Amino acid sequence: MLKKKFKVIFLGSDEIAIPSLNFLHNDCKGTDVCAVLTQPDRRVGRGRKVKPNSIKLWAVDNDISHASPEIPDIETYEWLKEFKADLILVMAYGHILKESFLDLSSFGCFNLHASILPSYRGASPIETAIAMGDELTGVTLMKVFPKMDAGPILDIERVIIDKSDTGLYLRNKISLACVPLLERNIRSFAEADKNLIPQNEKMVSYCRKLTKEDGNLDFFSSASHLADRIRAFQSWPGSNFKIGNEKIRIGNAKVIANNLSLKEGETTKDEKGNLLIGTSEGILIPKSMQRPGGKMLDSLDFLRGFDFPFGSTLISSKMKDLLVQK
């Protein structure tokens, strides 16, 4: 057991890591965050203004030494080496580290990955878990290897996925789940190698980086699968269908049985005026919709101001597989 504080270098670029940083810096008596490595300032938002990410802002606000190279290089290595850190901790940094970086601290380098490994290694585990209809996910604390998300596991914090969870809401749940995971393992890092469990390579799956095209909706899929994708991608890239040349975004949706025998993409309305869309199994009912440049509105409010061609058949767009082979 450690009897004094140990020094931590934190690598991250996404707001999801803020609760972990706050715990390590403010609430944990056994750690001292001595440096932060993050991504460079990027253009964001509609105005495309160059802004620092949340992790850099946190470092500035807490007067922590920080750097944001485009790619970690020899200069970065030498800078980090000066801190003589006990532990390197990573969450959503955005780079696969070279092996030399993994040996910069005495305890090694550990990663907080937002899935129950070996499932959903890769770039979009939170959104993919929802889109695939999963009911359980979590955070895996693992030792970093040069191969993506392939290191042995120290511990896992499980998180239930509720049917109402959107990608953004589940991201927040995952973010908060990192704290108890770190809290119960904070004194184990010094001897972590004795407790590591190798990942089962036969159970590995990979999720890719999301693109704008993942907003497509294919009504030859089931209504439940489409509803899961809609809530998974609610923040970005959204979920859309076309009416003429206009792209309509669905904010969220519900599913009912197809007692009307609607064909895939065929539309009608119920007695309240709700839009009903046929799928391969079940009917999809958008609960909120948005026109380009407009606000997301309750579907009934949206339809009062939009001349929807009920009875028409919406064109299905191909949806790319979220899981990929490596």
CATH number of the CATH domain containing 293: 3.10.25.10
The pLDDT of 64-93, averaged and rounded, is 96
The pLDDT of 30-50, averaged and rounded, is 90
Asked if residue 169 belongs to a domain, the reply is yes
The predicted pLDDT at position 63 comes to 98
The predicted pLDDT at position 3 comes to 53
Are both 194 and 120 inside the same structural domain? yes
Model confidence band, residue 43 (pLDDT cutoffs 50, 70, 90): confident
Q: Which of 207, 229, 256 finishes a domain? A: 207
Are both 38 and 71 inside the same structural domain? yes
User: Which amino acid type is present at position 289?
Assistant: M
Are both 192 and 300 inside the same structural domain? no
Q: Which of 207, 237, 261 finishes a domain? A: 207
The predicted pLDDT at position 162 comes to 98
- Which tens digits make up the pLDDT trace of 44-68? 877 788 899 999 999 999 999 999 9
The pLDDT of 60-79, averaged and rounded, is 96
How many domains does one find in the chain? 2
Are both 53 and 160 inside the same structural domain? yes
Domain region containing 293: 212-316
Asked if residue 75 belongs to a domain, the reply is yes
Return d(Cα 323, Cα 326) in angstroms, integer.
10
Q: Which of 166, 188, 207 finishes a domain? A: 207
Are both 21 and 147 inside the same structural domain? yes
Are both 171 and 63 inside the same structural domain? yes
Are both 310 and 258 inside the same structural domain? yes
Are both 193 and 242 inside the same structural domain? no
Task: Name 42's Cβ contacts closer than 8 Å, sequence gap at least 6.
Answer: 50, 51, 53
Q: Quick check: 210 and 237 in contact, CB under 8 A?
A: yes
Are both 133 and 151 inside the same structural domain? yes
Could you tell me the CATH number of the domain that includes residue 109?
A: 3.40.50.170
Are both 286 and 300 inside the same structural domain? yes
Query: Given the structure tokens 């119920």, which residue do they identify?
Result: 270
- State yes or no: pLDDT of 244 exceeds 50: yes
Under the phi-then-psi rule, with left for phi > 0, alpha for psi from -120 to 50, and beta for the rest, what region is 34? alpha
Are both 32 and 71 inside the same structural domain? yes
- Which tens digits make up the pLDDT trace of 189-217? 999 999 999 999 999 999 999 999 999 99
- State yes or no: pLDDT of 1 exceeds 70: no
- Which tens digits make up the pLDDT trace of 108-162? 999 999 999 999 999 999 999 999 999 999 999 999 998 899 999 999 999 999 9
Asked if residue 235 belongs to a domain, the reply is yes
Task: Name 197's Cβ contacts closer than 8 Å, sequence gap at least 6.
Answer: 152, 153, 154
In SS3 terms, the chain reads as CCCCCEEEEEEECCHHHHHHHHHHHHHCCCEEEEEEECCCCEEECCCCEEECCHHHHHHHHCCCEEECCCCCCHHHHHHHHCCCCCEEEEECCCCCCCHHHHCCCCCCEEEEECCCCCCCEECCHHHHHHHCCCCEEEEEEEECCCCCCCCCEEEEEEEECCCCCCHHHHHHHHHHHHHHHHHHHCCCHHHHHHCCECCCHHHCCEECCCCHHHHECCCCCEHHHHHHHHHHCCCCCCCEEEECCEEEEEEEEEEECCCCCCCCCEEEECCCCCEEEECCECEEEEEEEECCCCCCEEHHHHHHCCCCCCCCECCCCCCCCCEECC
Asked if residue 326 belongs to a domain, the reply is no
- Which tens digits make up the pLDDT trace of 274-317? 999 999 999 999 999 999 999 999 999 999 999 999 999 999 99
- State yes or no: pLDDT of 96 exceeds 90: no
- State yes or no: pLDDT of 4 exceeds 80: no
